[in-house]
Amino acid sequence: MTSPPQLLTDPFVQLPTETSVQIVWFTEFAGYGHIVTYGENLAQTALATTTQLKRIREDQNSRLGNQTQNGQVYQHPVQRDIWRHEAQITDLTPDTRVSYLVTSVREDGESVSSKVFTLAPKPSPGKPLKILLTSDHQIKPMVAANLQKVVETVGRVDAVWFAGDLVNIPDRASEWFDDHRGGAFFPCLQGRANYEMNSDGVKTIYSGGEIIQYAPMFTCIGNHEIMGRRDHGSLDDEFDATIPRTVALKFYGQESLKENSFNTDTYEEIFTLPQSQEGGKTYYAVSFGDVRLVVLYATNMWRTFNLDAEARGRYREREKDFNTPENWGYGQHIYEPIAKGSTQYNWLAQELNSPEFQQAKYKVVMLHHPPHTLGGNIVPAYTNPVQIIERDADGNIKAIRYEYPKDADFLIRDVVPLVEAAGVQLVFYGHSHLWNRFCSQSGMHFLETSNVGNSYGAAWGDNKREVPVGYKEDYAELGDPYGLEPVVPTIVPLLGEDGKPMPYIASNDITVFSIFDTGTGTVSSYRFDIRKPDSEVIKFDEFRLK
Residues 135-182: pLDDT tens digits?
999 999 999 999 999 999 999 999 999 999 999 999 999 999 999 999
Confidence bin at 470 (pLDDT 50/70/90): confident
Say if CB 228 and CB 242 are below 8 A apart. Answer: yes
* pLDDT above 70 (res 282): yes
Q: How far apart are CA 369 and CA 373, in angstroms?
A: 10
Q: How far apart are CA 274 and CA 122, in angstroms?
A: 12
Nearest to 136 by CA among 163, 111, 174, 116: 163
Q: How far apart are CA 396 and CA 390, in angstroms?
A: 8
Nearest to 61 by CA among 77, 42, 81: 77
**pLDDT tens digits along 430-469:** 999 999 999 999 999 999 999 998 998 999 999 999 999 8
Scanning 71-133, the segments in alpha helix (DSSP H) are none
Say if CB 313 and CB 329 are below 8 A apart. Answer: yes
Of 111-120, 230-239, 370-379, the range with the lowest mean pLDDT is 230-239
What contacts 309, CB < 8 A, 6 or more positions away?
318, 319
pLDDT (average), residues 396-423: 97
Q: How far apart are CA 452 and CA 297, in angstroms?
A: 22
Confidence bin at 58 (pLDDT 50/70/90): very high
pLDDT (average), residues 117-134: 97
Within 13 Å and on the Cβ side, how many CA atoms surround 521? 9
Q: How far apart are CA 475 and CA 457, in angstroms?
A: 17
What contacts 509, CB < 8 A, 6 or more positions away?
529, 530, 531
- The CA R_g of the chain, rounded to the nearest whole Å, is 23
Burial 1-10 (b: 16+ CB within 10 A, else e): eeeebebbbb
Q: With pLDDT > 90 as the criterion, what percentage of the chain qualifies?
A: 96
- Give the DSSP letter string of 246-267: HHHHHHH-STTTTTTS-B-HHH
DSSP structural state of residue 488? P
Global pTM?
0.97
Q: What pLDDT does residue 1 have?
A: 46
- Give the DSSP letter string of 40-59: GGG-EEEEPEEEE-SS-EE-
Nearest to 176 by CA among 278, 127, 406, 167: 167
Say if CB 251 and CB 260 are below 8 A apart. Answer: yes
pLDDT (average), residues 387-396: 96
Nearest to 453 by CA among 524, 529, 544, 354: 529
Q: How far apart are CA 420 and CA 340, in angstroms?
A: 15
Q: CB count, 10 Å around CB of 484? A: 17
DSSP structural state of residue 323? T
Q: How far apart are CA 259 and CA 430, in angstroms?
A: 28
What contacts 41, CB < 8 A, 6 or more positions away?
none
Nearest to 256 by CA among 231, 236, 224, 221: 231
Say if CB 430 and CB 494 are below 8 A apart. Answer: no
Q: With pLDDT > 70 as the criterion, what percentage of the chain qualifies?
A: 100
Q: Which residues pair with 544 in a beta bridge?
A: 522
Burial (CB < 10 A; 0-12, 13-18, 19+), residue 131, is buried
Longest Cα–Cα distance in the chain: 83
| Rounded to 5°, angle at Cα 342 from 337 and 344 | 70
Say if CB 164 and CB 299 are below 8 A apart. Answer: yes
**pLDDT tens digits along 341-374:** 999 999 999 999 999 999 999 999 999 999 999 9
* pLDDT above 90 (res 200): no
Mean pLDDT of the chain: 96
The terminus-to-terminus CA distance of the chain in angstroms comes to: 62
What contacts 98, CB < 8 A, 6 or more positions away?
38, 39, 40, 92, 118, 119, 120
Scanning 58-184, the segments in alpha helix (DSSP H) are 143-154, 173-177
Q: What pLDDT does residue 207 have?
A: 98
